[in-house]
């Protein structure tokens, strides 16, 4: 019998195929005592396993590139955490085997993360994956992972570790469905980068029986279990229609009546540039620079290394706009040389611009490197600070940019509600705003972006979030300045129309989403986008806002 389930659609497209579950294994090793003379050997085994797993994660990252590389390198650093290794050594010294010591040390660290605030609690799944990989290596058992199959299938799992998601083969994995996760989880971001249809936060996903035929609509979040031939034909026709629309939409982003909306790409480094260019990106709306600093959590990269990397990206967009976000360290991106290890709630502590202002030499070096990288190039360089809270923050950043001799526009990311509410004040110090809707939603609703149980508050269609976007966009318009969106909200084609109607002046997203947004914007006038935006803001929930906007745009 055909039934319909609903999760959160996080990656566009339709996939129809049989369910295959992520492989599982019992990875809790037995607890047994070892004699004292074996402790040194067991400590050596543990260290070898840790190094092997870290090397494997780094290798997977190098193969995947882009977003995936930064995520997997962060996991490798997690595996090699000195405090964890020291705890493992202590446990072995008092009689634990290597595998049991790893298991128990990670369990203790897991409890600390789970209780350390929303941001770090969202990294528990990543930590569990690292632990499982090390323990599996020590026990000599296969790692749980993507199933072997000669036929294409839809992958179903409680959650997907970044190491698994990063190297999915799109020719075999038609799409995936998870019970956990949210619209801005690592798996969701990587799914969009791969162009694989995906639905997350689906209650009871793991209860779908192996071999069951399901249809996954990554745009609506709907899962059709045992779809009939009529439903399959309807979904396939809809997918074909979308594909045709994508092929016909080319050129700069604009509404049907010619209102220009530059469509930019979010990138994590030079490896993402080719996909952005292929998708017709008009520039870069968010160049995340954290990947450079994750190579070595003990010290910042040299100015020379930064110049070389930044220039590779700037050269790829001659006479285009490239918006660089300076280092956003802290919370889920801790760096030993910058971020305190004992913050009770890192998400509400010293992160982003606050970290850089406490370490001005790191900010000064990065700004100087950006200035040198842009020398002699016709690119329109813009540099923005993360986690700006007020005018004082904005002034401190602008002053640092001027002191570094940076000839670029200085901007502020709006990720904290105070910055949206006082946007006109912030704009007295900077020349543009860029809305990071992922963190803005997180702080507006006190809802961690990695926790599936609170994913409804991470939905960018929430009217309260749209209100904050409208406030910031109106402030920018009043000041004659620009206000873009570089959060994942921009990758939703219909929401892109609503954001345009709210007054947002540019949209930046993962490269895979650019054709969908370009094609959808081209179907509607600016007036239609404005009416859809007003209807969405008048709603009382995300679902109602989505339905209201759809009704306006479809002429119902």
Q: Which residues are catalytic?
A: 186, 486
| Secondary structure in 3-state letters for 20-45 | EECCCCCCCCCCCCCCHHHHHHHHHH
Query: Kind of pairing, strands 213-217 and 222-225?
Result: antiparallel
Burial of 36 (0-12, 13-18, 19+ CB in 10 A): exposed
How are beta strands 173-178 and 321-325 bridged, if at all?
unpaired
Measured distance CA(512)–CA(510) in Å, rounded: 6
Q: What is the largest CA-CA distance in the chain?
A: 79
Here the tokens at position 220 are 């609506």
Contact 282, 320 (CB under 8 A): yes
| Strand order across the 198-200 sheet | 3-6, 222-225, 213-217, 14-21, 153-157, 173-178, 198-200, 8-11
Contact (Cβ atoms closer than 8 angstroms) between residue 2 and residue 199: no
Q: How far is CA 460 from its chain centroid?
A: 14
Residue 221 region by backbone torsions, left for phi larger than 0, else alpha for psi between -120 and 50, else beta: left
> For residue 329, which of 349, 296, 355 has the smallest C-alpha distance?
355
Tokens of 513: 């989403």
- Of 22, 24, 42, nearest to 132 by C-alpha is 24
Residue 514: Cβ-neighbour burial (10 angstroms; 0-12, 13-18, 19+): buried
- The owner of tokens 């305190």 is 340
Residues near 520 by beta carbon (within 8 Å), at least 6 away in sequence: 245, 493, 494, 496, 497
Left (φ > 0), alpha (ψ -120 to 50) or beta: where does 330 sit?
A: left
Contact call for residues 179 and 452 (beta carbons, < 8 A):
yes
Q: How far apart are CA 419 and CA 424, in angstroms?
A: 9
């Amino acid at each position: 019998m055909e039934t319909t389930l609903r999760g959160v659609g996080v990656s566009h497209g339709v996939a129809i195929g049989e369910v295959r579950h992520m492989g599982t294994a019992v990875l809790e090793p037995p607890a047994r005592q070892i004699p004292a003379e074996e402790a040194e050997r067991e400590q050596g085994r543990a260290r070898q396993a840790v190094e092997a797993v870290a090397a494997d994660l780094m290798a997977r990252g190098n193969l995947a590139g882009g977003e995936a590389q930064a995520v997997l390198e962060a996991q490798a650093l997690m595996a090699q955490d000195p405090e964890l290794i020291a705890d493992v050594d202590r446990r072995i010294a008092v009689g634990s085997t290597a595998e049991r010591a790893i298991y128990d040390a990670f369990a203790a660290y897991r409890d600390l993360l789970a209780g350390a605030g929303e941001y770090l609690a969202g990294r528990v799944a990543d930590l569990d994956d690292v632990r499982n990989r090390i323990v599996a290596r020590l026990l000599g058992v296969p790692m749980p992972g993507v199933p072997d199959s000669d036929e294409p299938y839809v992958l179903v799992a409680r959650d997907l570790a970044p190491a698994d998601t990063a190297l999915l083969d799109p020719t075999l994995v038609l799409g995936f469905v998870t019970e956990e996760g949210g619209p801005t989880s690592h798996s969701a971001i990587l799914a969009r980068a791969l162009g694989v249809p995906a639905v997350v936060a689906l209650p009871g996903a793991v209860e779908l029986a192996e071999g069951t035929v399901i249809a996954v609509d990554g745009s609506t979040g709907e899962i059709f279990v045992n779809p009939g031939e009529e439903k399959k034909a309807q979904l396939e026709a809809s997918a074909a229609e979308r594909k045709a629309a994508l092929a016909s939409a080319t050129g700069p982003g604009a509404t049907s009546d010619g209102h220009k909306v530059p469509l930019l790409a979010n990138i994590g480094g030079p490896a993402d540039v080719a996909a952005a260019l292929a998708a017709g990106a008009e520039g870069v709306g968010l160049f995340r620079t954290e990947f450079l600093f994750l190579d070595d959590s003990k010290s910042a990269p040299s100015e020379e290394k930064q110049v070389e990397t930044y220039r590779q990206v700037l050269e790829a967009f001659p006479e285009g706009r490239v918006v660089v976000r300076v280092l956003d360290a802290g919370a889920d991106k801790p760096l030993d040389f910058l971020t305190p290890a004992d913050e009770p709630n890192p998400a509400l502590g010293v992160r982003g611009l606050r970290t850089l202002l406490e370490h001005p030499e790191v900010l000064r070096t990065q700004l100087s490197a950006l200035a040198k990288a842009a020398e002699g190039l016709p690119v329109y360089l813009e540099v923005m600070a993360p986690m700006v809270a007020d005018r004082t923050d904005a002034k401190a950043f602008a002053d640092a940019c001027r002191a570094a001799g940076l000839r670029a526009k200085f901007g502020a990311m709006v990720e904290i509600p105070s910055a949206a509410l006082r946007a006109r004040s912030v704009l007295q110090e900077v020349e543009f705003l860029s809305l990071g809707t992922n963190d803005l939603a997180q702080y507006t609703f006190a809802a961690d972006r990695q926790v599936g149980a609170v994913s409804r508050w991470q939905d960018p269609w929430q009217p309260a979030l749209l209100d904050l976007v409208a406030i910031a966009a109106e402030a920018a318009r009043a000041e004659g300045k620009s206000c873009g969106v570089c959060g994942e909200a921009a990758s939703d084609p219909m929401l892109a129309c609503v954001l345009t109607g709210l007054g947002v002046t540019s949209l930046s997203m993962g490269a895979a989403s650019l054709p969908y947004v370009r094609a959808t914007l081209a179907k509607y006038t600016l007036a239609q986008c404005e009416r859809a935006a007003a209807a969405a803001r008048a709603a009382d929930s995300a679902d109602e806002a989505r339905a209201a906007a759809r009704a306006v745009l479809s002429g119902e």
